[in-house]
A and B are shown apart, each in its own frame.
Chain A
């Protein structure tokens, strides 16, 4: 365990950049934290925190120079690996022959700065789905390979966070190269830093100002314990998957359909949702055709369109599909929950539907 000062943080970014990493991290844009390319530690937001609630996100100045007092925006890291719009191949008609030109996988080293513990779990879930199963997405694998991750433990959880319930935070325990916990502010900013890989160890050894002392570790433990006790939401997952599996005709699905917009925001903001569709387009002469993969959602009618119509016509059926897949059938399919407790689906639902509340309502009065 090391102590990292702000200039050491900058040194780590410098050496990553020198090694050819493209660095992505939090940025302030349009009143929210977004994930974008960052040039230096100076371009990270400072002294802001977020207030999140159902359907509501606002930033506020903290009045100090804290680095990571905010949590998550609607952006998640999945956009870097599972691209929202992905060309797959181009077909050209050449006389009587068809030439198929696949889109080359986009490689290149990436460094992610400020990945929260729940996000590490989200990346692990997407790895499992897109890279480690029977069907491997070569675009995902190529862009995910060799990613360097600087994780940040959460000392200020958001109003819709429930990572403690999902067992994914607020402390990173794996899946990072370096993890940081912010201590102090107003000129006294420093981080307790841990290495999670030989590369992380090497960078920390060169950039840190020494080993973390007993008092720093004590302070860190207190901050993280307080954060764990300060979650905006909770979800009782004991027996939840089984209860939801039996909830097919629960009246709550009809009730939530009265509020649900089926607008797809929850699924698009979710860091583990991976649904997509492919679209073919042609030019006017019919000599060129393109196939593109785009993010889709179980909340669109076309997503479940089979011959003769959509399988899930009603908003209630779509919401049920999403919630029960995320919290129940995901276990059967991938051996764990599809939810990380990040709370994005609650904050970015335009009408504030709360997955913890809906799951509880269905389970609380489940029949049989």
Chain B
């Protein structure tokens, strides 16, 4: 790379998604001016129509790959970007739209669209990392805005970003949140889900529903056994727990399939 003489260029790209993760970047109100001061925002459809040509120093990619066009376009972005960061559950696991991976897409199209012949769609919704090399992944639905700033700050300062890969339970215990599984018998995906949300749901006495996807080394099989034996869940309920926002993330996908009879 040549020596940096101008501000690094940041591009934000959208694939199949709801735009919520892009909005998290706009939501960085307090930090946004500092972000704009430190980097040139070269492409960011939610913020501006202006587009600066590549190559880009950092590309943030939102959304999953669901069409043949997207499967082509992502390669162009990789070729034009030094660092690619997949942001959000869609980009890192396939997102909620990956629920179709468990169904017949043609049949769904016929049910939903008056003219399904106009729909050109892949059978599966897949994460960005299935198609290109991804440098970092930011989990969550949506991503945590502090993580966005952290990954940009780490890039600008030439250091490794602080992104946890341990369980949500760590955040509960650091914050003194009463465990909803042990104290209330509520099924909670916290033990198998990556931290990063600061235990948002357990703080409100809800079980974690896995927005940040599987953590490193998750033991979904025995957790599911505990849901069935100790939390009074049915196999159908266990399937629904694992088949949520990150249904296509490998450990969650395999666990939900295991309970299909």
A: residues with CB less than 8 A from B are 29-32, 34, 55-58, 73-75, 79, 84-85, 258-265, 268-269, 279-286, 294-297, 299-302, 313-315, 347-352
Are A284's CB and B34's CB within 8 A?
yes
**Using Cβ atoms and an 8 Å threshold, which residues of chain B touch A55?**
181-182, 226, 230
3 shortest interchain CB distances as A-B pairs: A268-B173, A263-B191, A84-B174
Q: With a CB–CB cut-off of 8 A, which chain B residues contact A282?
A: 153-154, 157, 159
- A261-B223 in contact (CB<8A): yes
Is chain B's interface secondary structure helix, strand, loop, or mixed overall? helix
Q: Are B154 and A350 in contact (CB under 8 A)?
A: no
B192 A56 Cβ-Cβ under 8 A: no
Flag if A351 contacts B205 (CB, 8 Å). Answer: no
Which residues of B lie under 8 Å from residue A279 when comparing CB positions?
Answer: 162
Contact A281 to B153, CB < 8 A, known contacts A31-B183, A55-B182: yes
- Besides A34-B176, A285-B34, A314-B217, 17 more A-B contacts (Cβ < 8 Å) are A79-B176, A259-B222, A261-B219, A261-B223, A264-B173, A268-B169, A280-B162, A283-B34, A283-B153, A295-B174, A296-B170, A300-B165, A300-B216, A301-B165, A302-B165, A351-B226, A352-B230
Given known contacts A74-B178, A264-B169, A350 and B217 CB-to-CB distance under 8 angstroms: no
Within 8 A of A (CB), among B24-70: 31, 34-35, 37-38
A182 vs B39: C-alpha distance in the bound complex, in angstroms? 65
B166 proximal to A (CB < 8 A): yes
Contact A301 B174 (CB under 8 A): no
Contact of B170 among A260, A264, A284, A313 (CB under 8 A): A264
- 13 residue pairs bridging A and B, Cβ less than 8 Å apart: A30-B205, A84-B174, A261-B169, A264-B170, A280-B162, A286-B157, A294-B174, A299-B166, A302-B164, A315-B217, A348-B179, A350-B181, A350-B182
**Secondary structure of the A contact surface, majority rule:** loop
Within 8 A of A (CB), among B205-261: 205, 216-219, 221-223, 226, 230
Q: Are A284 and B178 in contact (CB under 8 A)?
A: no
| B173-197 at interface with A (beta carbon < 8 Å) | 173-179, 181-185, 188, 190-192
- Which of B156, B181, B216 counts the most chain A CB atoms within 10 A? B181
Q: In the complex, which residues of chain A have a beta carbon less than 8 angstroms from the beta carbon of B177?
A: 30
Question: In the complex, which residues of chain A have a beta carbon less than 8 angstroms from the beta carbon of B179?
Answer: 57, 74, 265, 348, 350
Q: Which residues of A contact B19 (CB under 8 A)?
A: none
Report B-chain residues with C-beta under 8 Å of the C-beta of A29.
Answer: 178
Does B77 count as interface, using CB distance less than 8 angstroms? Answer: no
**Considering the chains assembled together, what is the distance between the CA atoms of A110 and B86 in angstroms?**
47
Whether A261 pairs with B192 at a CB distance below 8 angstroms is yes
Q: Assuming A301-B217, A350-B179, is B230 touching A284 (CB within 8 A)?
A: no
> Which residues of chain A come closer than 8 Å to B226, judged between CB atoms?
55, 350-352
State the CA gap A75–B165 with chains docked (Å).
24
CB distance from A315 to the nearest CB of B (A): 6
CB–CB A281/B162 < 8 A: yes
Give the complex CA separation of A210 and B222 in angstroms: 56
For B153, what are the chain A residues with a Cβ–Cβ distance below 8 Å? 281-284
Contacting pair B174 A268 (CB below 8 A) = yes
The answer for the CA separation of A297 and B159 in the assembled complex, in Å, is: 23
**Chain A nearest CB, measured from B76 CB (Å):** 28
Contact A74 B219 (CB under 8 A): no
Residues from chain A with a CB closer than 8 A to the CB of B173 are: 74, 84, 264-265, 268-269, 295
Q: Report yes or no: A284 in contact with B31, Cβ–Cβ below 8 A.
A: yes
Task: Give chain B nearest CB distance to A294 CB in angstroms.
Answer: 7
Given known A261-B191, A284-B34, contact A34–B178 (CB-CB < 8 A): yes
Chain A residues whose C-beta falls within 8 Å of the C-beta of B217 in the assembled complex: 262, 301, 313-315
Which A residues lie within 8 Å of B38 (CB)? 284-285
A residues less than 8 Å from B157 (CB atoms): 282, 286
- Whether B188 contacts A57 by the Cβ 8 Å rule is no
A297 contacts which chain B residues (CB < 8 A)?
A: 166, 170
Bound-state Cα–Cα, A313 to B165, Å = 13
- Residues in chain B near residue A75, CB distance under 8 A: 176
- Nearest chain B CB to A241's CB is how many angstroms away? 27
State how many angstroms separate the Cβ of A261 from the closest Cβ of chain B.
4
Assess whether B150 is in contact with A281, with CB atoms less than 8 Å apart: yes
